[in-house]
Amino acid sequence: MKTAFIFFLLGTIAGAFALNYYNEREAGRSSAAHPEPPASLKDKAKDAASQAGDAIAGKLEDWHLTGDDIKRDLARTGEIVRSKAAVAGEKITDARIVTVIKSKYVLDRGLSAIDINVDCKDGDVTLHGHVATPDLIGRAAALALDTDGVHNVVSKLTVAAK
C-alpha cells in the first residue's frame, strides 16, 4: 500500500513538472513564432459575401429582375423566364449546376434552399417553391442565371409569407 502511494505521489510530481514545462514552452513559442494573425476566416467570408451581393445587385437590374419587373411578369404570365447566351465549348453537368445554385441559396440569408426546388436539363433551369417577396424571386433567378452552364431560367416561384 505504501509502495502504491509512493508511485502515485511520484507520478503526480512528474506530471506537474511535465505540464509546467509544456506550458512554458508553448507560451514562448506562441509569443515569438506567432505574431498577430491576419484577418479571420469569418471576416474574409463576410467580405466575399458582401462583394458577391454587390455584383448580384447590378445584375438584377441588367436582367430585369427587380421587384417591379417580377410583379409585372407574374401578373402577365405567372412565371419568370430569363436567358443568357451560351459560351462556346461550355458543357457542365446538370447535377453540378443544381448543386452550385442550391449552395448559393444556402449562403443567401433571404433565400431558403429548402423552400426552393431547382431542376436542370441541359443548362435550362426551372425553379419551383415559394419565397417571402417578389424581390426574392428576382434574386433567386439572378443567382441561378449567374451560374456557369446555365442558359435559361424559368422561375415558377410563388410569394408566400412565412
Largest CA distance in the chain: 93
User: What phi and psi, each to the nearest 5 degrees, are found at residue 63?
Assistant: -95, 10
Contact (CB, 8 A) for 63 and 121: no
Alpha-carbon distance of 146 to 34, in angstroms, equals 41
Find the Cα–Cα–Cα–Cα dihedral 58, 63, 67, 69, rounded to 10°.
150
The residue type found at 92 is I
Confidence of residue 58 (pLDDT cuts 50, 70, 90): confident
- Indicate whether 110 pLDDT > 70: yes
Tally of CB atoms within 10 A around 118:
23
Alpha-carbon distance of 135 to 16, in angstroms, equals 63
Average pLDDT over the chain reads 77
Give residue 131's pLDDT: 93
Give residue 103's pLDDT: 92
Confidence of residue 155 (pLDDT cuts 50, 70, 90): very high
Query: pLDDT per residue over 9-51, tens digit each?
Result: 566 666 666 666 667 776 666 555 555 445 566 676 666 666 6
CA dihedral over 33, 36, 38, 43, signed as positive or negative: positive
